[in-house]
């Protein structure tokens, strides 16, 4: 796992080494083992390396036989051996056994179609001096990040935004549209970021920079194709086989491996499958507040599976002490409190291994979120005409909040497109008007959040409601929240995270499972639970998803109250946020008049991000993770 930076000067001027070196140095945490640079004409490539494959020989940038095509890459290509053998048969000469070099020769052979043949997680840049173009791509689901920006002089592409902020001419400005959507989703949806003028390369897209222009092209898309002709047993067996293959592929490395372990099906399944190939080290984290820790269940699962288990308990004080630096690592605000616990379990794991497997993606692919059961419970409304639904909603909205079933009637009167925004809906449009300033409401050139989801739902026409929800979450929640925090919090500790569920081959099979086999038997991801039964303790098979729960509700009433109040007063966001309303929510929450914790936390993380990146109140230099020599000593 690594960090990459690329710079293209539109004025055909040479790029100074100091500029590209500074952009690379700021992300040393992504690759503490090595660096490398290539400057040619008006471009520069910079690289930070975390050595995983071909440890002794995989130095980047890599080049072809004639030294006129160069590559830097971040990620792992799990089918690189097959591709490498094919390319060697065609006459390509390899300098290394690096998976990234395979992309280089694949590009020489098939051009931009190279990305369609890759199985893995990646973000890379190729400089083709013959054609005077820069080409790169991001993996199918967005496991690895890639950002870009443009100034009058240059176009920059990098693994992290903080590298782009080191480019001459880049301004630190809040994207007001991004802020407006962040308050809905708890992250900024693609392709925007919280910075004006800085964007994400969307997943499953490649970019080309040529003749001073950057263009984006989609090379793959999510498509569900349920096969109603096959029996339940077919999908159970097929799921087991494809996941065992994926876990085996994800074992590829020359350094020690381990796995995260919570108390649910997803991470336990990964550990259960991994131990069929090798002994496993597992890592768990929990809070010191009763009811907000899964450590006991994780411990019992580890004992059942026979792993070498390590765990960590986090207090409110330690959580708060690390929070500013970890928001710096996130690059932009993501108001998921579990992201910070993910940092701590990554820190623990990095003391023992360099690669860790985790269970992200199982819910989106196999239908695991509890909310996916809602279409079943609302089925009685599905055949009503629009006017009837409208009447029900009109009547229900006038009922007192104390009337039982009011929310059920309101949600039932809406289509899935109207009621489901993904796994996070922090502020409604009405409440948002209380949180942002009038200046934002008047001046922001924003779309309604419904417009963002509408475009995605348009691509999901013809699917049933559960599949539409999965499709939306894959395009929003998975990439904007789940994978973002997974990458940034593990790489903050120079730890490579791998996600065997999020694999093109796994999705290809999961996409054929009918909804009747996903939401069934009173539970979610029914096929997956049955397929993994032989690997799991009996008590885990039916456990609901919790992940790494965080007691922010309790902490904001107690430990964090004073800090939160001071942050609200101090942050220079008066032109963006209505502080009086945020203070009102904080006090109402403290007094127990309502649970405003998610809303308050969303605003607080934005304010802290603003202090770090816009006000530059905090100063964080490159975070130096343990050196490779230190890790080797720990591993021994």
- Widest CA span in the chain: 75
Alpha helices (runs of H) in 250-352, residue ranges in sequence order = 265-274, 295-305, 316-330, 338-350
The reported pLDDT for the residue numbered 510 is 98
Structure tokens at 407: 């929310």
Q: What is the CATH number of domain 2-174+198-218?
A: 3.60.20.10
Which of the 8 DSSP states describes residue 615?
A: S
Question: What are the E-state strand segments in 442-541?
Answer: 496-498
Tens of pLDDT, residue by residue over 258-280, are 999 987 899 999 999 999 999 99
Structure tokens at 189: 């949806």
Mean pLDDT lowest among 51-60, 405-414, 558-567:
51-60
Q: Which of 1, 2, 103, 334 is catalytic?
A: 2
Tens of pLDDT, residue by residue over 69-96, are 999 999 999 999 999 999 999 999 999 9
Query: Does the pLDDT at position 185 exceed 50?
Result: yes
**Separation between Cα atoms, residue 88 and residue 90, nearest integer Å:** 5
Tens of pLDDT, residue by residue over 9-39, are 999 999 999 999 999 999 999 988 889 999 9
Question: What are the E-state strand segments in 104-247?
Answer: 120-128, 133-138, 147-150, 154-158, 198-200, 205-210, 213-218
**pLDDT band per the 50, 70, 90 thresholds, residue 545:** low
Cis before 61? omega within 30: yes
**What's the whole-number mean pLDDT along residues 336-351?**
94
User: In 10 A of CB 131, how many CB atoms?
Assistant: 13
Contact between 331 and 160 under an 8 Å Cβ cutoff? The reply is yes
Q: What is the dihedral of CA 246, 251, 252, 257, to 10 degrees?
A: 150
**Separation between Cα atoms, residue 234 and residue 238, nearest integer Å:** 6
Tens of pLDDT, residue by residue over 281-327, are 999 999 888 778 889 889 999 999 999 999 999 999 999 999 999 99
Which of the 8 DSSP states describes residue 533?
A: G
State the pTM of this model. Answer: 0.93
Domain ranges within the chain, ordered by starting residue: 2-174+198-218, 232-367+474-535, 370-455, 552-614
The reported pLDDT for the residue numbered 397 is 76
Query: Does the pLDDT at position 634 exceed 50?
Result: no
Q: Which of 17, 143, 125 is nearest to 491 (CA)?
A: 143
Query: Does the pLDDT at position 227 exceed 70?
Result: yes
Determine phi and psi for 549, rounding to 5 degrees.
-70, 145
Determine phi and psi for 307, rounding to 5 degrees.
-95, 160
Query: Does the pLDDT at position 244 exceed 80?
Result: yes
The reported pLDDT for the residue numbered 606 is 98
Alpha helices (runs of H) in 224-292, residue ranges in sequence order = 232-249, 265-274
Unique residue bearing structure tokens 């039932």: 412
The reported pLDDT for the residue numbered 360 is 97
Q: Could you give the C-alpha distances from 177 to 135, 186, 202, 445, 527, in angstroms and in order? A: 29, 13, 18, 6, 40
DSSP per-residue codes, 14-26: PPPHHHHHHHHHT
Query: Does the pLDDT at position 636 exceed 60?
Result: no
Tens of pLDDT, residue by residue over 482-537, are 999 999 999 999 999 999 999 999 999 999 999 999 999 889 999 999 999 999 98
Contact between 517 and 531 under an 8 Å Cβ cutoff? The reply is no
Whether residue 2 lies in the annotated active site: yes
**pLDDT band per the 50, 70, 90 thresholds, residue 409:** confident
Query: Does the pLDDT at position 633 exceed 50?
Result: no
User: In 10 A of CB 544, how many CB atoms?
Assistant: 11
CATH superfamily of this structure's domain 232-367+474-535: HUPs (3.40.50.620)
Residues counted in the chain? 636
Query: Does the pLDDT at position 590 exceed 60?
Result: yes
**What's the whole-number mean pLDDT along residues 218-244?**
98
DSSP per-residue codes, 473-499: HHHTHIIIIIHHHHHHHHHTTT-EEE-
Q: Which of 164, 185, 270, 114 is nearest to 484 (CA)?
A: 185
Query: Does the pLDDT at position 426 exceed 80?
Result: yes
The reported pLDDT for the residue numbered 55 is 64
**Separation between Cα atoms, residue 187 and residue 517, nearest integer Å:** 31
Contact between 312 and 579 under an 8 Å Cβ cutoff? The reply is no
């Amino acid at each position: 796992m690594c960090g990459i930076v690329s710079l293209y000067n539109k004025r055909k001027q040479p790029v100074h080494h100091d500029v590209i070196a500074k952009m690379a140095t700021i992300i040393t945490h992504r690759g503490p083992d090595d660096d490398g640079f290539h400057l040619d004409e008006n471009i520069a490539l910079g690289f930070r390396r975390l050595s995983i494959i071909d440890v002794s020989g995989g130095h980047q940038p890599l080049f072809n036989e004639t030294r006129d095509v160069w590559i830097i890459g971040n990620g792992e290509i799990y089918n690189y051996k097959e591709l490498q053998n094919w390319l060697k048969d065609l006459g390509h000469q390899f300098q290394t056994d690096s998976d990234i070099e395979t992309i280089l020769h694949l590009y020489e052979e098939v051009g931009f179609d190279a990305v369609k043949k890759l199985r893995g997680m990646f973000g890379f840049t190729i400089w083709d001096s013959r054609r005077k173009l820069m080409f790169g791509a991001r993996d199918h689901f967005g496991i690895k990040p890639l950002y870009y920006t443009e100034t009058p002089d240059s176009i920059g592409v990098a693994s992290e935004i903080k590298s782009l902020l080191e480019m001459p001419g880049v301004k630190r400005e809040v994207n007001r549209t991004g802020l407006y959507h962040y308050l809905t989703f708890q992250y900024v949806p693609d392709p925007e970021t919280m910075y004006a003028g800085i964007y994400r390369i969307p997943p499953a897209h490649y970019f080309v920079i040529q003749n001073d222009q950057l263009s984006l092209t989609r090379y793959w898309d999510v498509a569900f194709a349920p096969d109603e002709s096959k029996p339940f047993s077919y999908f159970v067996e097929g799921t087991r086989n494809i996941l065992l293959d994926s876990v085996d592929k994800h074992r590829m490395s020359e350094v020690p491996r381990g796995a995260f372990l919570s108390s649910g099906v997803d991470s336990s399944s990964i550990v259960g499958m991994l131990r069929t190939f090798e002994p496993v080290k597992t890592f768990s984290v929990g809070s010191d507040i009763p009811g907000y820790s899964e450590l006991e269940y994780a411990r019992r699962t580890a004992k059942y599976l026979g792993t070498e288990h390590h765990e960590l308990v986090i207090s409110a004080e330690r959580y708060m002490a690390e929070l500013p630096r970890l928001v710096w690592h996130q690059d932009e605000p993501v108001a998921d409190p579990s992201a910070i616990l993910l940092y701590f379990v990554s820190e623990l794991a990095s003391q023992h291994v360099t690669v860790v497997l985790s269970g992200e993606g199982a819910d989106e692919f196999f239908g695991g979120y509890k909310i996916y059961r809602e279409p079943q419970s609302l089925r009685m409304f599905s055949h009503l005409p629009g006017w009837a639904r409208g009447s029900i909603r009109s009547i229900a909205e006038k009922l007192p909040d104390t009337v039982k079933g009011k929310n059920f009637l309101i949600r039932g009167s809406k289509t899935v497109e109207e009621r489901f925004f993904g796994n996070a809906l922090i502020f409604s449009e009405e409440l948002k008007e209380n949180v942002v300033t009038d200046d934002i409401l008047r001046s922001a050139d924003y779309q309604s959040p419904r417009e963002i989801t509408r475009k995605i739902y348009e691509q999901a026409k013809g699917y049933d409601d559960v599949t539409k929800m999965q499709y939306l979450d894959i395009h929003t929640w998975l990439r904007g929240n789940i994978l973002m925090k997974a990458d940034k919090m593990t790489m903050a500790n120079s730890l490579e995270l791998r996600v065997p569920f999020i694999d093109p081959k796994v999705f290809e099979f999961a996409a054929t499972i009918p909804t009747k086999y996903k939401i069934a038997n009173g539970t979610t991801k029914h096929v997956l639970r049955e397929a993994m039964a032989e690997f799991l303790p009996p008590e885990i098979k039916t456990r609901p998803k919790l992940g790494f729960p965080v007691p922010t509700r309790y902490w904001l009433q107690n430990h964090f109250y004073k800090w939160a109040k001071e942050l609200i007063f101090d942050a220079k966001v008066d032109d963006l946020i209505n502080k009086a309303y945020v203070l009102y929510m904080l006090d109402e929450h403290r007094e127990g008049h309502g649970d405003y914790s998610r809303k308050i936390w969303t605003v607080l993380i934005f304010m802290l991000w603003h202090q770090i990146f816009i006000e530059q109140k905090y100063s964080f230099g490159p975070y130096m993770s343990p050196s490779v020599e230190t890790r080797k000593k720990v591993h021994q």
